[in-house]
Structure 1
Amino acid sequence: MKQRYLVIALSGLCISDWSEAYVQDKESVIENTRTQGQLTSPLEQSKASEWGLKAQEWQRYRELMEGPLGVYSPGIDPLTALGLEARDSEEQKRYTEMQAHAEYQRITKLFAYQNAYDEAFARLYPNLLPVNLIGAGNAPQSSPVTATARFLVFVSNDCKGCVERVKRLQSADHHFDLYLLGARGNDELIRGWANSAGIDPKKVRSRDITLNHDNGRWASLGDGGSFPAVMRQVNGQWQRH
């Protein structure tokens, strides 16, 4: 009789173990199916394709954005995210090259649109100085080829010495991107300041000089000094000139 009870007990244990294993396997299958569905859905495939990523890379990006990276940098793009969290040098090289290519294409489109806008503005408003449409936060304001030779010039309406400094830069035939702080999106304020500084309209139309809203560019440089601030790029860093 004892043997019979022992067999029943062991059978019950086996059934219990098998049942638990079955539930775990079933949950694993469901999870794998859900993940696979995320990777192969048309929307996710489209998003991955737009960035030139494989499905697994897109899934890793999504997982990274669920962690600390997504908290600290919620708006970071997939290539930067994957590059920052690269697991080896080969991975890092792949994402940096992909990002360089994507950035080149993005800036090329921005410049093409800016040029088309400049032509339209000159045709419709020939007597007004054009103010840069793109803005400091979106793209460099000068050609990538000549960017290192240009200055960034930050001025304000109540700045003492700003007008004279800008006049000297123009007289020396420097190319620069002028930013007026405090214009608050008002193009007329920038045009008025440019006229008071005697900025040549021909140089603005040829983009030797550009007029820009600040849009946070000054704060992004972290200089914190007084105006006028004439900045130039040295070894990838913006420094006062």
Structure 2
Amino acid sequence: MTHIVSLRFASITLCLMSLVSIPGMAIAQARTAVSAPATSVERPSPIAESEEARAHAWGLDATEWSRYQQVMQGPLGIYSPNLDPLTALGIDARSDAERQHYAELQVRAEAQRVQKELIYQQAYDAAWKRLYPDLTPVRSLTSPSRGASLAHTERLAVFIKDDCPPCDARVRQMQASGAPFDIYMVGSRGDDTRIRAWAQRVGIDPVKVRARTITLNHDGGRWLMLGGQGALPAVLPGMGSP
């Protein structure tokens, strides 16, 4: 009898131990499931997507864009830090065929840009005449008027500065000749009032400015990009209208 009771007690104990161990196992399994690393889904890096988009905008692939970045880390990037990809790759071309390839890409890009600028220029001119009919327009390097160069391929660009008697004399002479030309004021700091006051003092004909026979422009650093050497005025042929 005592033996039978002992066996029953042992069986009950084992059952209780089993009931206690089951929740513990469930908790351990749950912890294991939580701690197990989730399967990661690779997603394209936003930076990579941005670089790819920038390359595509210039008609370049990833390899060409990478080479452009390498080129700009060298001497060319120091001399011309804001050089566009097509110009940079064309200058640093490794063969005549490569140079021709980037030249054609740039011509196509320029043609598309000029077409858009010409359309916007019409809207710009109409807005200017409507808002400021008696005010002489001044164009900066960012204004949408470079498309006018297609119609005036033999224009001259004259770089001048304020308080420069030789500059004044040269501009008056050019205006008297009747030839179309573009004036770039070096050191104007984007001040329209300053360049307008200079134009009025020198005697620039507002009618010629409105007709774009003569344009008034802020240099915006272009003189430095061209080398910035020599005294002003400086007259450069073949630049076209800005």
Normalized against structure 1, the TM-score is what?
Answer: 0.64
**Match for 2:236: what amino acid?**
R
Find the partner of 2:209 among 196, 204, 209: 204
SS at match of 2:199: helix
1:175 positional shift: 0.9
1:168 to 1:124, Cα distance in 2 relative to 1, 3 A: same
Find the partner of 2:150 among 144, 169, 188: 144
**Match for 2:222: what amino acid?**
R
**Contact kept in structure 1, 2:140 and 2:220, CA below 8 Å:** no
What pairs up with 1:223-238 in 2 under 5 angstroms? 224-227=229-232, 229-233=233-237
**Contact kept in structure 1, 2:155 and 2:180, CA below 8 Å:** yes
Could you say which residue in structure 2 is the equivalent of 1:216?
A: 221
Aligned counterparts of 1:120 and 1:128: Cα–Cα separation in 2:
12
1:43 to 1:226, Cα distance in 2 relative to 1, 3 A: closer
What do the CA deviations read for 1:4-36 (whole angstroms, capped 9, x no partner)? xxxxxxxxxxxxxxxxxxxxxxxxxxxxxx9xx
1:56 to 1:223, Cα distance in 2 relative to 1, 3 A: closer
**Contact kept in structure 2, 1:183 and 1:190, CA below 8 Å:** yes
What do the CA deviations read for 1:141-185 (whole angstroms, capped 9, x no partner)? 8513423x2222233332224434323322221111112333322
Aligned counterparts of 1:127 and 1:197: Cα–Cα separation in 2:
19
Residue 111 of structure 2 corresponds to residue 104 of structure 1 = yes
1:233 positional shift: 1.8
1:97 to 1:58, Cα distance in 2 relative to 1, 3 A: same
Aligned counterparts of 2:102 and 2:65: Cα–Cα separation in 1:
12
SS at match of 2:134: coil
1:139 to 1:98, Cα distance in 2 relative to 1, 3 A: farther
1:62 to 1:167, Cα distance in 2 relative to 1, 3 A: closer
Aligned counterparts of 1:162 and 1:91: Cα–Cα separation in 2:
42
Residue 65 of structure 2 corresponds to residue 58 of structure 1 = yes
1:69 positional shift: 5.7
1:95 to 1:160, Cα distance in 2 relative to 1, 3 A: closer
**Contact kept in structure 1, 2:183 and 2:214, CA below 8 Å:** yes
Aligned-pair identity (%): 46
1:231 to 1:112, Cα distance in 2 relative to 1, 3 A: farther
SS at match of 1:108: helix
Residue 183 of structure 2 corresponds to residue 174 of structure 1 = no
Could you say which residue in structure 1 is the equivalent of 2:11?
A: none
Runs (5+) with no aligned partner, structure 1: 1-33, 237-241
Residue 153 of structure 2 corresponds to residue 128 of structure 1 = no
1:186 positional shift: 1.6
1:42 to 1:218, Cα distance in 2 relative to 1, 3 A: closer
Runs (5+) with no aligned partner, structure 2: 1-41
User: Max radius of gyration: which structure?
Assistant: 2
Aligned counterparts of 2:77 and 2:227: Cα–Cα separation in 1:
24
Residue 167 of structure 2 corresponds to residue 159 of structure 1 = no
Aligned counterparts of 1:165 and 1:62: Cα–Cα separation in 2:
42
1:43 positional shift: 3.7
SS at match of 2:109: helix
**Contact kept in structure 1, 2:140 and 2:219, CA below 8 Å:** no
Normalized against structure 2, the TM-score is what?
Answer: 0.64
**Match for 1:97: what amino acid?**
E
1:163 to 1:44, Cα distance in 2 relative to 1, 3 A: closer
Aligned counterparts of 2:74 and 2:236: Cα–Cα separation in 1:
37
1:48 positional shift: 3.0
**Contact kept in structure 2, 1:179 and 1:213, CA below 8 Å:** yes
What pairs up with 1:1-150 in 2 under 5 angstroms? 42-62=49-69, 64=71, 74-135=81-142, 140=146, 142-147=148-153, 149-150=154-155
Aligned counterparts of 2:157 and 2:56: Cα–Cα separation in 1:
37
